[in-house]
DNA sequence: GATGAATGAGATTTCATTCAT
DNA sequence: CATGAATGAAATCTCATTCAT
């Protein structure tokens, strides 16, 4: 069995994803983790801390992967496609974490929120530079500002949370491929 | 000055959009509306009722408009483009309502949630049939299932809530045009 | 259709009997009576007034009948028996009123409570004098103070509320006869 | 000083007996017990739980005692007499609990009410079998159904609540003896 | 390291009553 | 006569957090 903090994070992730941060009582989290409230406050300063922890971890993983993919060698269209697929696949593979990330952004207290926004913006910008790179060399149409394109695409990703079921017909890879295809298609000159 | 129920709806819309349903106290709503809690419970059965009211009104407007546009005379590409622009423009013109709609869907109590899901599904399906129509006659590529295309597009729309500011540089029409263009471009055969 | 005050009394009697005074909202009463709250406060000063009205009417009827029976001509044993049967039969024939009377005594506000206690005490005393009369002439055993006997008997009567069903097997007259028989039997010298 | 839950039960018993369940605010209970509302809800799930606890404890004691007395060796008349005295004496010795028990039965929420009714019915039936035993062997008259006799008698017991004062002239034993005598007398063949 | 009792502020909701129309 | 909107006080219950052990 995992350590107490790990069990707490797992329980909180599950519950936040299912019901949303504000609908989950600390008591529920510790019950599901099989510990007491005292234990939770021993490891985490607050309920908000738990959210912060969950919130950050997926984003950090995705940022790392995006940077690798973006820095790769292939043509820009391939790299953007790969990046698009990747963000969907990793989101679906960690769907509970992703749901928390998608929905609970502004539940963080002020200081942590600022930090998170920074990380999120950096991710967005790295992705945007891929689009801009393709627009600059004529691979992609420049009609739509790259910023908008990225917002549009990540809207699709975040929205997975409201219709996709990991055990439904479509695999993560299939959805990833379709969405990446749509993105690339929308950028054809 | 408007009637009490109208003032309550306006206050609730404002606050739910700003802080999210769970973070708004009934006391705040009635304070902003300038009435007492008793008055609120005279007109609305619960805080949830207020949400239901707000939630439904934008969706009903958009459904009506979608049906008109979809039933129009022009070529399918034009009708889809117009529908896409329209949903964004009306969402931005009623941005507070839209934010509530985008974010507070699952805060509704069970019975109302079922009803709302039905309405939302009908909207989604009407939109999907537009895509299918174009795919059937070869105007649009059939590579991606229409269902996915619609989810993808509405992800973009819902996501407006996390980056768009009505008094920023871009007008509602501009964003609407860009997003509709992206949608149409992504469907080119 | 009856007058508004009559309908209100009828509705209140029904509901107070069913759920108890404190569990009935004024709104429920006026709904059942088919009028509005304003109408109720037009005819009755308060919810308490309604109770007072119901409370008093059965007691007044029973007091009148007791006085007649007690003042009758027959032997004391017959008169006591008749009085005992009568209180049960009239209670069951007006079971809702009786339930309210049995259970809601101390829900009356102070001034009305004092008045009611007086009426109830007079009833109790008239009944007690019947017992004393029989004890004085040797018809009844004098072992138990008449006061206790009367309390004991009326306990049985009040308790009807917790087990008797007007449409069950036993008629009001049968229960009345059995209880009166028990009372008389318990007083045999 | 007793534990917090004990103090809460004591305070609730006192207040429910005095004013009736619906007239007592949780705030009053915790004030009298010298704790906060949070503490109360730490130990009891609801105000109803408190009632349930009080309600059950006297009944359990009386059931145990009734079973012992009923299973005793003496003649049936003696055992019934002893049982009758006992229920009165224990009710008066725990008068607050008894008052709550007598008056607040139907204030329990549905599930607990069913449970309580079961316990109460078992008690009633054990008592009834004593009467039936005496009727079967001719010790008691069989004129009145045992069921009615028991209802009648327990009416007297419950009614104590509306006239008896523990510090009045009559001791619990005296009332018990008188009532038991009346019961036995009423059953003479 | 961990417990769980206790806090205290605040949440939603109910309801008898009043009053302008 | 009667309405029904509005009040305001109070009700029950929740919950993140603290702290002595």
> pLDDT digit string (tens) for B115-167?
888 889 999 999 999 999 999 999 999 999 999 999 999 999 999 999 999 99
- Nucleic strand F near CB of residue A24 (< 7 Å): yes
Q: Report pLDDT for B31.
A: 92
pLDDT tens-place string over residues D123-160: 999 999 999 999 999 999 999 999 999 999 999 999 99
The CA distance from C167 to C153, in Å, is: 23
For residue C111, is pLDDT > 80?
Answer: no
Contacting residues of D for C103, CB less than 8 Å apart: 103
Of the candidates C22, C158, C185, the beta carbon closest to that of D185 is on C185
Q: What is the CA D9 to C1' F10 distance in angstroms?
A: 23
**Domain with C119 in it:** 46-186
Q: How far is D123 from chain C (nearest CA, A)?
A: 14
Q: Report pLDDT for A173.
A: 95
Q: What is the mean pLDDT of chain D?
A: 92
Q: Report pLDDT for C56.
A: 81
Question: Which residues of D touch chain C, with CB atoms under 8 Å apart?
Answer: 20, 22-23, 103, 105-107, 141, 143-145, 148-149, 151-160, 162-163, 175, 178-179, 181-183, 185-188
Let me know whether A18 and A72 are in one domain. Answer: no
Question: Which residues of A touch chain B, with CB atoms under 8 Å apart?
Answer: 20, 22-23, 103, 105-107, 141, 143-145, 148-149, 151-160, 162-163, 175, 178-179, 181-183, 185-188
What would the 3-class secondary structure string for chain A be? CCCHHHHHHHHHHHHHHHHCHHHCCHHHHHHHHCCCHHHHHHHCCCHHHHHHHHHHHHHHHHHHHHHHHHCCCCCHHHHHHHHHHHHHHHHHHCHHHHHHHHHCHHHCCHHHHHHHHHHHHHHHHHHHHHHHHHHHCCCCCCCCCHHHHHHHHHHHHHHHHHCCCCCCCCCHHHHHHHHHHHHHHHHCC
Q: What is the mean pLDDT of chain A?
A: 92
Of the candidates B151, B154, B159, the beta carbon closest to that of A151 is on B159
* Average pLDDT score over residue span D88-112: 87
Where does the pLDDT of residue A121 fall: very low under 50, low under 70, confident under 90, or very high at 90 and above? very high
Q: How far is D143 from chain C (nearest CA, A)?
A: 8
For residue A48, is pLDDT > 80?
Answer: yes
* Average pLDDT score over residue span D19-24: 92
- Lowest-pLDDT range, A53-62, C100-109, C132-141, D167-176? C100-109
Let me know whether D58 and D115 are in one domain. Answer: yes
> Which CATH number characterizes residue D19's domain?
1.10.10.60
pLDDT tens-place string over residues C20-51: 899 999 999 999 998 988 889 999 988 988 99
For residue B1, is pLDDT > 70?
Answer: no
Q: Report pLDDT for C4.
A: 87
pLDDT tens-place string over residues A12-47: 999 999 998 999 999 999 999 989 998 899 999 899
For residue C62, is pLDDT > 80?
Answer: yes
Under an 8 A CB cutoff, do C185 and D181 touch? no
* Average pLDDT score over residue span A121-131: 95
For residue C1, is pLDDT > 70?
Answer: no
Q: Report pLDDT for B56.
A: 83
Let me know whether A116 and A154 are in one domain. Answer: yes
Let me know whether D88 and D174 are in one domain. Answer: yes
* Average pLDDT score over residue span D57-79: 94
The CA distance from B11 to B4, in Å, is: 10
Query: Count H helices, E strands: chain C?
Result: 9, 0
Report whether D48 contacts D104 (CB < 8 A).
no
Let me know whether D1 and D86 are in one domain. Answer: no
Counted domains in chain C: 2
Q: Report pLDDT for A1.
A: 60
Q: How far is A14 from chain B (nearest CA, A)?
A: 16
Q: Report pLDDT for D63.
A: 94
Let me know whether B73 and B148 are in one domain. Answer: yes
Let me know whether D37 and D119 are in one domain. Answer: no
Q: Report pLDDT for D41.
A: 92
Let me know whether C50 and C8 are in one domain. Answer: no
Which tokens go with C81? 């028996």
Write the CA distances from C34 to A134, C7, C27, C53, integer angstroms: 73, 8, 10, 19
Domain boundary residue, one of C25, C45, C65: C45
Which tokens go with A25? 């009582």
Let me know whether C53 and C64 are in one domain. Answer: yes
Under an 8 A CB cutoff, do B143 and A22 touch? no
pLDDT tens-place string over residues B45-82: 899 999 998 988 899 999 999 999 999 999 999 999 99
Q: Report pLDDT for D1.
A: 60
Q: What is the CA D26 to C1' F16 distance in angstroms?
A: 22
């Amino acid at each position: 069995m995992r350590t107490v903090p790990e069990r707490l994070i797992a329980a909180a992730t599950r519950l936040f994803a299912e019901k949303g941060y504000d609908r989950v009582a600390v008591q529920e989290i510790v019950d599901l983790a099989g510990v007491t409230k005292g234990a939770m406050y021993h490891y985490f300063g607050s309920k908000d801390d738990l959210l912060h922890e969950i919130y950050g971890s997926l984003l950090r993983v995705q940022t790392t992967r995006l940077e690798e993919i973006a820095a790769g060698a292939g043509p820009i269209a391939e790299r953007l496609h790969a990046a698009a697929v990747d963000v969907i696949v990793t989101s679906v593979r960690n769907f509970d974490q992703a749901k928390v990330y998608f929905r609970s952004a502004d539940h963080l207290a002020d200081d942590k929120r600022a930090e998170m926004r920074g990380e999120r913006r950096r991710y967005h910008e790295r992705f945007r530079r891929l689009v801009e790179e393709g627009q600059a060399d004529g691979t992609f149409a420049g009609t739509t500002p790259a910023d908008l394109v990225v917002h549009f695409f990540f809207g699709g990703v975040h929205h997975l949370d409201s219709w996709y079921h990991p055990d439904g017909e479509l695999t993560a890879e299939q959805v990833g491929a379709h969405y990446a295809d749509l993105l690339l298609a929308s950028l054809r000159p």
